[in-house]
C-alpha cells in the first residue's frame, strides 16, 4: 500500500470506469471491501449509501461492514442546499436555500463515519471526526476556524518531522524495506 491515504470512491450504481471491478456493489461486499483494504485507506461512498431509505432514517450496514474489513469510511458530498439534503434535513421548500447540513453530518458521525467530503468546510471544520464530537465551545465561526487551523498546522508539522525521520532511516538503510516504509501520520488514530 502506498504511504498516501487513498480513498476508493464508490457509488450506489454503476462500476469503476477502469473496469477494476464488475460493479460498485461487488466492491462493497465483505470480500470486495477486504480487497479495497489492500490498496486504500478507506472508501468514499455517496452519502446516500449510508441509509437504506431516501429519508435518511434507517442506517445501512455499510459503515459497520467497511470497519469489519479494516476500511475507513469518508462519504461524499455534504452540501448545505436543500436540493442535496434528505427530506428530514431540508428547511423550507426552496431547493437553493440552506438546510440542516450539520444535522446530516451529525447523523453520519453517529453511524461511525471516519471523515467526509463537503463543499462547506466552514461548516464541516468544527466537527472533530476522530472524537465524534462537535466543537460548540468556541464563541464564533472565525474562532473555530482559527483553532482548527492551528490544530492542522501542528499535525502537519508532526507529519513533516516523521517523514524526515523516515527518509533519514531509508538513506541509512536503503536495503531495509521496513526502514523505507512510511505508513504516514494518522491524526486521531
Condensed to tens digits (0 to 9), the pLDDT of residues 3-35 reads 788 999 999 999 999 888 899 999 999 999 999
In a domain, 2, yes or no: no
Does residue 145 surpass a pLDDT of 60? no
Q: Which of 91, 106, 136 is the last residue of a domain?
A: 136
Q: Which residue in the block uniquely carries the three cell numbers 464564533?
A: 140
In a domain, 189, yes or no: yes
Total number of domains in the chain = 2
In a domain, 32, yes or no: yes
- Assess whether 127 and 187 both reside in one domain: no
- Assess whether 161 and 186 both reside in one domain: yes
Q: At a CB cut-off of 8 Å and minimum separation 6, what does 149 contact?
A: none
Cα distances (angstroms) measured from residue 91 to each of 105, 131, 181 = 15, 28, 49
Q: Give pLDDT tens digits for 114-128.
A: 999 999 888 887 776
Beta strands in the chain (DSSP E): 7-10, 42-45, 72-73, 127-128, 133-134
Mean pLDDT, to the nearest integer, of 141-162?
68
Using pLDDT thresholds of 50, 70 and 90, give the confidence band for residue 167: confident
Does residue 188 surpass a pLDDT of 50? no
Q: For residue 73, what are the β-bridge partners? A: 43
Q: Which domain holds residue 183?
A: 139-189
Q: Give percent helix, percent strand, percent coil of the chain, each to the nearest 5.
A: 40, 10, 50
Amino acid at each position: 500500500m502506498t504511504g498516501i491515504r487513498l480513498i476508493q470512491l464508490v457509488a450506489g450504481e454503476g462500476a469503476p470506469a477502469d473496469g477494476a471491478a464488475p460493479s460498485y456493489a461487488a466492491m462493497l461486499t465483505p470480500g470486495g471491501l477486504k480487497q479495497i483494504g489492500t490498496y486504500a485507506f478507506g472508501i468514499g461512498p455517496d452519502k446516500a449509501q449510508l441509509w437504506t431509505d431516501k429519508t435518511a432514517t434507517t442506517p445501512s450496514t455499510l459503515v459497520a461492514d467497511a470497519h469489519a474489513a479494516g476500511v475507513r469510511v469518508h462519504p461524499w458530498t455534504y452540501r448545505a442546499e436543500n436540493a442535496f439534503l434528505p427530506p428530514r434535513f431540508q428547511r423550507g421548500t426552496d431547493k437553493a436555500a440552506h438546510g440542516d447540513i450539520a444535522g446530516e453530518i451529525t447523523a453520519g458521525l453517529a453511524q461511525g463515519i471516519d471523515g467526509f467530503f463537503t463543499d462547506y468546510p466552514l461548516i464541516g471544520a468544527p466537527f472533530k471526526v476522530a472524537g465524534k464530537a462537535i466543537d460548540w465551545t468556541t464563541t464564533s465561526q472565525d474562532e473555530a476556524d482559527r483553532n482548527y487551523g492551528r490544530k492542522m498546522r501542528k499535525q502537519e508539522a508532526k507529519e513533516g518531522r516523521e517523514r524526515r525521520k523516515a527518509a533519514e532511516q531509508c538513506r541509512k538503510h536503503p536495503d531495509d524495506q521496513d526502514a523505507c516504509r512510511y505508513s504516514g501520520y494518522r491524526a486521531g488514530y
